[in-house]
Amino acid sequence: MKRSAIFFLVLLLLMTFSCASSRSSRAIRKAERMMEQQERQAQKDYEKAIDTHYKHQAPKTKKMIREDRRRARRLNRHLQR
């Protein structure tokens, strides 16, 4: 009698905790998806701001930026290996 009551109690506890863990894992997955979506949106906003900033520059400044990028690529070529 005592053994079956303990077994039933353990079984009931296992069922309860297994359901709770699946709910929490679903909530974690949902939160992770939301975080990834927010990160993607933040990256898009950042790139848009960079493009807007670049478009507002004077032609002379744009030319200087392009030359600096080329120079940086040449200087950092040995680091890419």
Read off the pLDDT of residues 23-54 as tens digits, 9 standing for 90 and up.
Answer: 678 889 999 999 999 999 999 999 999 999 99
Say whether pLDDT at 58 is over 90: yes
- Written as six digits, the tokens of 74 are 């040449």
Domain residues for the domain of 9 are 2-80
Please give the tally of structural domains in the chain: 1
First-to-last CA distance in the chain? Answer: 72
Burial (0-12, 13-18, 19+ Cβ within 10 Å), 46: exposed
56 vs 54: CA distance, rounded Å = 5
pTM to 2 decimal places: 0.53
For the chain, how many residues are written?
81
How far out from the chain centre does Cα 78 lie?
A: 30
Query: 3-state class of 1 per DSSP?
Result: coil
Residue with tokens 């997955």: 29
Check residue 2 and give its pLDDT.
Answer: 75
